[in-house]
């Protein structure tokens, strides 16, 4: 992650693009409705997008010539929901492909599915589940961001394994290899992203309380 330009077979690239397009279209509608109903959250929405862009642009060397990076999508998923992050993540990935040569246009759909669809949905689901058990905001945010990050890389490993199955062991063997490559650096990165996201949420809880109450992150009487 991100999968580089031209790396996926044409059929795979087209298929992932079609899947991503459906989520991005729905996300665009959700963003539009959110801004109409809660215009006071506009700056926070922009900050979430910037947070995602900066974190996911930090390419760190991994093994066998690959690289890993945080995703930054967990924060936005917790605050605005996973549908909104699909369109914000797509914007981030598009600009990174055009300006930083990070990812590609033909592989944009696959990268969007991994980082802007699966990651945010997992993060949001984890956050809701942990909060449902009465855990603190910090604990829920940490696991949401960390596991959403890991889910992105698992998805990328699945995409690569589908495109390039091992000649002997097939899809499963290839998946194990790709996940093993990513795991060495991505597990500590996911933990670090979880901690950083908690710190950012604490800052927002101190300085953006009206917006967080509007988003039902903080209790209205808090």
Asked whether residue 47 is domain-assigned, the answer is yes
Q: Domain range spanning residue 18?
A: 10-214
Asked whether residue 50 is domain-assigned, the answer is yes
- In this predicted structure, the answer to whether residue 67 has a pLDDT above a threshold of 70 is no
Asked whether residue 2 is domain-assigned, the answer is no
Asked whether residue 220 is domain-assigned, the answer is no
- In this predicted structure, the answer to whether residue 204 has a pLDDT above a threshold of 90 is yes
Asked whether residue 222 is domain-assigned, the answer is no
Amino acid 144: pLDDT: 97
Task: Note the pLDDT tens digit of each residue in 133-142.
Answer: 999 999 999 9
- Token pair in block for residue 176: 């194990």
pTM: 0.92
Q: What are phi and psi of 68, to 5 degrees?
A: -130, 165
**DSSP string for 69-103:** ----HHHHHHHH-HHHHHHHHHHHHHHHHHHS--S
In the three-class reduction of DSSP (H, G, I as helix; E, B as strand; rest coil), residue 194 is classed as helix
The closest of 221, 168, 211, 209 to 45, measured between CA atoms, is: 211
Asked whether residue 66 is domain-assigned, the answer is yes
- In this predicted structure, the answer to whether residue 58 has a pLDDT above a threshold of 90 is no
The CATH number of whichever domain residue 89 belongs to comes to 1.10.1760.20
Rounded to whole angstroms, how far apart are CA atoms 172 and 149?
A: 22
Task: Note the pLDDT tens digit of each residue in 16-49.
Answer: 999 999 999 999 999 999 899 989 889 999 999 9
Within 82-219, where are the H helices? 82-99, 108-111, 119-132, 137-163, 170-207, 209-214
- In this predicted structure, the answer to whether residue 222 has a pLDDT above a threshold of 50 is no
Asked whether residue 100 is domain-assigned, the answer is yes
Cα angle: 104, vertex 106, 111; to 5 degrees: 60
- In this predicted structure, the answer to whether residue 59 has a pLDDT above a threshold of 80 is no
Asked whether residue 95 is domain-assigned, the answer is yes
The closest of 59, 92, 60 to 73, measured between CA atoms, is: 92
Rounded to whole angstroms, how far apart are CA atoms 73 and 86?
A: 9
Rounded to whole angstroms, how far apart are CA atoms 87 and 116?
A: 7
Q: What are phi and psi of 166, to 5 degrees?
A: -65, 140
Amino acid 47: pLDDT: 92
Structural domain count of the chain: 1
Amino acid 185: pLDDT: 80
Contacts of 124 (CB under 8 A, 6+ apart): 77, 78, 81, 82, 144, 148
The DSSP code for 169 is T
Average pLDDT of the residues in 4-25: 94
């Amino acid at each position: 992650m991100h999968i580089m330009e031209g790396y996926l077979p044409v059929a795979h690239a087209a298929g992932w693009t079609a899947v991503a397009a459906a989520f991005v279209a729905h996300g665009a509608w959700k963003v539009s409705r959110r801004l109409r109903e809660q215009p006071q959250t506009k700056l926070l929405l922009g900050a979430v997008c910037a947070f995602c862009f900066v974190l996911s642009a930090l390419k760190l060397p991994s093994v066998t010539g690959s690289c890993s990076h945080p995703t930054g999508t967990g924060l936005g998923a917790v605050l605005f929901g996973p549908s909104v992050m699909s369109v914000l993540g797509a914007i981030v990935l598009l600009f990174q492909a055009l300006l930083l040569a990070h990812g590609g246009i033909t592989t944009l759909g696959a990268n969007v599915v991994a980082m802007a669809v699966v990651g945010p949905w997992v993060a949001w689901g984890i956050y809701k589940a942990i909060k449902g058990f009465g855990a603190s905001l910090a604990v829920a945010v940490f696991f949401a961001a960390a596991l959403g990050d890991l889910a992105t890389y698992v998805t990328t490993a699945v995409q690569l394994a589908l495109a390039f199955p091992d000649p002997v062991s097939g899809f499963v063997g290839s998946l194990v290899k790709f996940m093993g490559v990513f795991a060495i650096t991505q597990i500590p990165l996911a933990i670090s992203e979880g901690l950083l996201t908690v710190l950012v949420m604490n800052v927002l809880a101190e300085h953006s309380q009206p917006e967080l109450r509007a988003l039902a992150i903080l209790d209205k009487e808090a």
